Amino acid sequence: MTANLRHLWPAILLALALFLGLSPAAMAHGFGERYDLPVPLGLYLAGAGAAVALSFVAIGVFVKAEASHGDYPRFNLLRWRLVGLIAGPWFSVSLRVASVALLVLVIATGLYGDRSPTLNLAPTFVWVIWWVGLAYVSALVGNLWAILNPWKAIFEGVEVVAGWLTGSRRLSLDVSYPASWGVWPGVALFIVFAWIELVFPDSARPSNIAKLALAYSAITWTGMLVFGKDRWLRSGEAFSLVFGLLSRFSPTEVRMTDPKVCKKCPADCLDAEGRCVNCYHCFHEASSPQRELNLRPYGVGLLSSRPVTPSMMVLVVALLATVSFDGVLATSTWASIQNSLFNAFPSFDGHRLTVVDTAGLVGFGAIILAVFGAFSWLMSLAGGKEHTTGVIARYFVLSLLPIALGYHLAHFLTFLLIQGQPIIPLASDPFGRGWDIFGTTDFKTNISIVGARFAWFLAVIAIVIGHVIAVYLAHVVALRAFSERKHALRSQYPMLALMVGYTVLSLWILAQPIVAE
């Protein structure tokens, strides 16, 4: 696989060269304002689609065969003493204490702080710093949430106290988790979270954030108590699942060198090949010679040799639908749809627009799932029906994740850079009481830190690179999934059509609030 990975970057660079060659520079009049492109938007969309198609040709030519799963370059960072100290228990405990303190602070400011979202720490911290910022950290650095998770930290603290009192290290009723449930509890909780983020009209109200945090705490700790901490984290805790998914793309992993250690793991962490990768329970329980903190190529964590479960497939599609629908909400097209559907839905005590947006979110997710299912059917036909449509969909769904990451980067980075700045004065006055703890309350947000030109070219580069990586991953998975190379290549023609179509659609959505044709 090492040689094949080296061929991915030439494909990306060649695709970008084609795209940028077709795209003259855009002159921005200022971020937040629409501006005219020097050429019609359609040429940008055609260039992006051509770039993705060209990458398919390049990857098909250079990537001939694929090594076995897990055979990729790795470097154990624990060889460096400083990294070993950072990965040690004291640094981890410090991060967990800080995370728990932030959860308590968010709840406290939500309940007792100023009611204005701009004067209260909770909205900016939760929706900008935590949700958007940690998603980038998970995908581009590694699964920091596995350490920071405050609900896990609090539960483990209670386990320690219970151990002192009862002599048992585990606090659980040990109810058997039904295998048929998969990760459906986590999928359901994530969909509810996505609805709150995108549709719920009062999601920025501090008191609502505090109440939702308390409700989610109760659900999470109940699941841990009933089924066990590790089982619920891997199946029912929505953010462990989502950030864990994103971290599969990241350049870091934790790995056990001796799988025998994992036989006592309550999370049943060994994969189909008998390897223990990214199980943080085993990583923290084992001794240094038995564990690794590896640096690896981006994206290899998405190259599964087995189909994912149906519930995991739906979670990936839901994540993709969520970031895409957030962009759709900012388009004039969606405003027109809202107006046309406004009178078609019941009022529900004056929340008719909320009903319309809810229907849009559900419908958009259903459309993406249906389209992916249809293309999976075409892939099954093109591949000689070696696998059923359902198996094909579960084989290739993880290759869509770079698309979600590219779109997330394109859509939210400017949001993070601008809307995240208020956290500086809010750190000094989290409750909105006129405090100045750190002397930063006079800080003013600099909205010119990024411009429309930056936002547009970030969008096109992130979208194109995300789709090129997705094409590569899908090609590698096809070589693994099909017994004959010709079937593997034929199966990718429908996938290419899907990638090109989604590239064009993604850029069109992102262009609506930024540029004018």
pLDDT tens by residue, 429-456 = 999 999 999 999 999 988 888 777 777 7
pLDDT of residue 25: 35
Of residues 142, 150, 216, the one with CA closest to residue 185: 216
pLDDT of residue 37: 57
Q: What are phi and psi of 276, to 5 degrees?
A: -115, 105
DSSP string of 369-420, one letter each residue = HHHHHHHHHHHHHHTTTSS-HHHHHHHHGGGGHHHHHHHHHHHHHHHHHHHT
Of residues 99, 95, 97, 114, the one with CA closest to residue 426: 114
pLDDT of residue 312: 95
The Cα–Cα gap between 485 and 339 comes to 50
DSSP string of 173-206, one letter each residue = --PPPPGGGTTHHHHHHHHHHHHHHHT-TTTT-H
The Cα–Cα gap between 248 and 328 comes to 26
The Cα–Cα gap between 355 and 225 comes to 35
On the CB side of 267, how many CA atoms lie within 13 Å of its CA?
22
Q: What are phi and psi of 297, to 5 degrees?
A: -65, 145
Of residues 428, 414, 438, 432, the one with CA closest to residue 118: 432
Give buried/exposed letters for 3-41 (b at 16+ CB in 10 A, else e): ebbeebeebbebbbebbbeebeebebeebeeebebeeee
- Token readout for 194 is 């996505």
Q: How many CB atoms lie within 10 A of CB 331?
A: 16
Instruction: Find the angle CA(52)-CA(297)-CA(233) to the nearest 5 degrees.
Output: 100
pLDDT of residue 349: 60
pTM recorded for the entire structure = 0.88
pLDDT of residue 36: 52
SS3 127: helix
pLDDT of residue 68: 54
Torsion sign (Cα): 59, 397, 362, 493: positive
CB 258 within 8 A of CB 235: no
Q: Mean pLDDT for each consecutive 10-residue tract of the chain (517 residues)?
A: 49 46 36 52 78 81 62 85 72 91 98 96 96 94 94 93 77 89 96 95 95 97 94 94 94 82 70 74 73 88 86 94 86 83 68 86 93 94 91 93 87 88 96 95 87 78 87 89 88 89 82 62
